[in-house]
Structure 1
Amino acid sequence: MTTTSARPDVALPSLASVYRTRASVELKEFFRQRESVVFTLLFPVILLVVFGAVLDYDIGNGVTFTQYFMAGIIAAGILGASLQNMAISIATERSDGTLKGLAGTPMPRSAYFVGKIVQVLVVTVLIIVILLAVGALAYGVDLPSGSDWFTFAWVATLGSSSCTLLGIAVSSLAKNGRSASAMVTPIALVLQFISGVFFQFSQVPTWMQTVASFFPLKWMAQGLRSVFLPDFLAAQEPAGTWELGRVALVLGLWCVAGLVLCVATFRWQDRGTP
């Protein structure tokens, strides 16, 4: 007599489980790369320490430059964790065949983007927490209070979202990670110089202010200045106010534009690859 044994059906993992696994992979890969950790996570902290020690002067009515600089360096840190990080890492994974390999697996393609978004979120939160701690403990920076924390949260969220989407879109313009770094890093540095990160925005030439206003970094830095600086300094902004409504509108429009560009340009493999 012969017997047959039925193989039990193997249950597929849930979508949430796949998302968690992919997010864990992205975080492990990021923190194993020392260059990425130093450049993305520690570089803004180093800048804060250096500028805070060298340029800790009074810009008026007892407000120090370090207090002013805190908003800009947080905005720059968010830009690095999102736009620069995404553009370089995705371009690298496309050129070395990682994306092509992932696209050929049963993993839902959405899991890849969820993993990247979680990575940006975790790194961004770490950057913000470290910068706030160093600023408050080492340089006496006054932290936001009350409803300012809500403003801080939505400005950082919209800014990070828009820059993440732009980073994913920009990654398709580069051939590999090196070319992406060579392309994105100079642009990011220029934007930081003209967007009120390293200098008071009122000291930036008017034509540079106009150029900066076309990009999300300027609006992110302006929104964050509103939570770190007293209201009388709003008079030094181009419009004489913090323009929080316009900050939300511009960053929201950049989120939409970034999403459209992602859908239109994203590729799982290099052009011409069979």
Structure 2
Amino acid sequence: MTVLAERRARPRSAMWALTGHAVLAFTRNPVAAFFTLVFPLAFLIILAAIIGDQRTEDGVPIVQYLVSPFAVFGAAQASFVLVAADTASLRESGVLLRLRATPVAARTVLASRIAAAVLAAGLAVLLLTTVGVLAYDVQIIGRKVPAMLITLLLGTCCCAALGLALAALTRTVLAAQSLAQGLLISLAYLSDVFLAGVTLPGWMQGLGSALPLKHFARAMAETFEPTPGYGFSPGHLTVLVVWAVAGALVAGRWFAWQPRGVRAPRTVPEPAAPAPVRLSPPIRQRRSAPALLSGQIAYALLGQSRDMLGVFFSVAFPALLLALFPAVFGGGRVHGMALAQYLYAAMIAYTAALTAYVNLPESVVAARSAGVLKRLRATPLRFRWYFAGRLCAALVVSALAAVLLTAVGVGFLGVRLDLVRLPALLLAIVAGSLCFAALGLAIVTLMPAARSLIAVTLGTLLPLCFASEIFVVGDQPLPGWLTTAANVLPLRHLLRAVLAATDPAVTGPGFAAGHLAVLAAWTVLGLLVAARRRVSW
């Protein structure tokens, strides 16, 4: 091979190598695989189970119209969130800076990330479409397949360009990941993804129409419509191209290859050698139990305050749903209650479960991976105080979220809260937090790999939220098997305990003894599993 031919072949081989590396990193990231593949598929399966065999007037299964929005979410997750987070991570770890010292061109490095995003997005669409065709009689219109592929390619490239722009504008991995995930989840409710076919208020429609995700969802939905034509949506595709160009311009202007905030070390004159000091033997003081607990609570709260993504999903996201759903669905009723009143209780239950079952185990596993738990063995601090500090921090976060939900619900949505039953509400939150913290700790003891923990906790909690009617809006009855499973598992009992303490139609102190007993039984079971397996230091 001549030198010229070798130089021409080198970028192509580097492109394939870097793309393969990015795809391999995706397969080894359980959280990324969960949100890209498992999360949309779980939504599709649960909603299909709730809807059943309902069809339109033309005999088309309603599930036909559910595949495309969830496919768009998976594609946007792979191309927007992962590209932003992975690019920021490579920059912060110094990988991008080292790649700049190689013969690989900058455009090849960035193009490989986009190519990997396109492959991951295609895998998400293929998985959802295959399940839809095999399990729910979803039709693939052959003449619209080219439009589907072009829409997927343009939408993925648009989201990837915006992901690169977000990575260019943020300084840290945490900021890039938190903003990307928070923006995508929020926009999914405004862009015909999670609320497809619902008439939104005018300002929400205008905001969604100005952003690209809605056009991506509309263009993809057209390719699944069993109507004449070839499925192309020139208007929506044009908007995607415009946003892709805008994202590329922003990324090209502000993208940096070296880690942000790196400062050159300052030269400090060496101090003179100090005079020898005779040291007295150290005096060991045993700290009291309240001091140990308060220190661990403060430490845990400091860690949670630095987790922007956890704060968004634990505090901001429930309040956003509480404010959004009544604005979308109006003054409807759910199970004989006003929609806002029901969602108020549901979001309190969701926050208590999320902070104790997802965030708390994640902090314990992170400490175990960093060697913090092993170092604690050489200190007077017992693991029970460490775990109690994280549990109390989770209760504080749940209480803050409940206060915010109360401010939104009572102040703007007409939610009624009886102060006489406030102790019952606090007891339900504490009991639910204890229950899900015990179950989370049990999962920590059973999980040998820390990277798979969030995929397991979120992968079980989010479907359980649908089965337990946390996220289900309306009086559509659930399938019998799903109702039976929800009645056995603890989340529905937590919701019922919170409803008993917040329902204006309920008289008395509001204590739901039966549901609290079920939560206590699950708490004991989780603690028994955790005590038998023990936490690996």
> TM-score, normalised to structure 2's length?
0.45
Given that 1:86 and 1:168 are in contact with CA atoms closer than 8 Å, whether structure 2 keeps it comes out as yes
* Corresponding residue number in structure 2 for 1:213: 209
Which of 197-206 and 219-228 deviates more? 197-206
* Corresponding residue number in structure 2 for 1:62: 59
1:83 to 80, 83, 90: 80
Which of 262-271 and 161-170 deviates more? 262-271
What aligned pairs does 1:62-211 form with structure 2 within 5 A after superposition? Answer: 62-146=59-143, 148-211=144-207
* Corresponding residue number in structure 1 for 2:253: 264
Q: In structure 2, how many angstroms separate the alpha carbons of the residues matched to 1:113 and 1:160?
A: 14
Given that 2:165 and 2:251 are in contact with CA atoms closer than 8 Å, whether structure 1 keeps it comes out as yes
Corresponding residue SS for 2:210 = coil
Which of 181-190 and 163-172 deviates more? 181-190
Q: In structure 2, how many angstroms separate the alpha carbons of the residues matched to 1:228 and 1:28?
A: 31
Q: In structure 2, how many angstroms separate the alpha carbons of the residues matched to 1:132 and 1:12?
A: 38
User: Cα distance, 1:45 vs. partner?
Assistant: 1.6
Q: In structure 1, how many angstroms separate the alpha carbons of the residues matched to 2:21 and 2:13?
A: 12
Q: In structure 2, how many angstroms separate the alpha carbons of the residues matched to 1:170 and 1:144?
A: 36
Which of 64-73 and 158-167 deviates more? 64-73
Given that 1:26 and 1:119 are in contact with CA atoms closer than 8 Å, whether structure 2 keeps it comes out as yes
The percentage of counterpart residues that share the same residue type is 27
1:24 paired with 2:13, answer no
Corresponding residue SS for 1:42 = helix
Which of 39-48 and 88-97 deviates more? 39-48
Given that 1:23 and 1:115 are in contact with CA atoms closer than 8 Å, whether structure 2 keeps it comes out as yes
Residue 143 and residue 272 in structure 1: after superposition, are their counterparts in 2 closer, same or farther (change >3 A)? same
1:183-235 deviation per Cα after TM superposition (whole angstroms, max 9, x unaligned): 11121111111111122334222321111111111111111221212449xxx
Given that 2:169 and 2:255 are in contact with CA atoms closer than 8 Å, whether structure 1 keeps it comes out as no
Q: In structure 2, how many angstroms separate the alpha carbons of the residues matched to 1:11 and 1:217?
A: 39
1:69-112 deviation per Cα after TM superposition (whole angstroms, max 9, x unaligned): 11211111111110111111111111222222222333322221
Aligned-residue RMSD, C-alpha: 2.3
> TM-score, normalised to structure 1's length?
0.84
User: Cα distance, 1:270 vs. partner?
Assistant: 3.0
1:253 paired with 2:242, answer yes
Aligned amino acid, residue 106 of structure 2: R
User: Cα distance, 1:60 vs. partner?
Assistant: 4.5
Q: Show structure 2 runs of 5+ residues with no match.
A: 1-5, 264-537
1:158-177 deviation per Cα after TM superposition (whole angstroms, max 9, x unaligned): 11111110001101233332
Aligned amino acid, residue 93 of structure 1: L
* Corresponding residue number in structure 2 for 1:273: 262
Residue 68 and residue 12 in structure 1: after superposition, are their counterparts in 2 closer, same or farther (change >3 A)? closer
Given that 1:69 and 1:198 are in contact with CA atoms closer than 8 Å, whether structure 2 keeps it comes out as no
User: Cα distance, 1:243 vs. partner?
Assistant: 8.6
Q: Show structure 1 runs of 5+ residues with no match.
A: 1-9, 233-241
Corresponding residue SS for 2:260 = coil
Corresponding residue SS for 1:22 = helix
User: Cα distance, 1:12 vs. partner?
Assistant: 10
Given that 1:169 and 1:262 are in contact with CA atoms closer than 8 Å, whether structure 2 keeps it comes out as yes
Q: In structure 1, how many angstroms separate the alpha carbons of the residues matched to 2:14 and 2:234?
A: 38
Aligned amino acid, residue 16 of structure 1: R
1:33-57 deviation per Cα after TM superposition (whole angstroms, max 9, x unaligned): 2222222232222222222222344
Residue 105 and residue 27 in structure 1: after superposition, are their counterparts in 2 closer, same or farther (change >3 A)? same
Residue 204 and residue 16 in structure 1: after superposition, are their counterparts in 2 closer, same or farther (change >3 A)? same
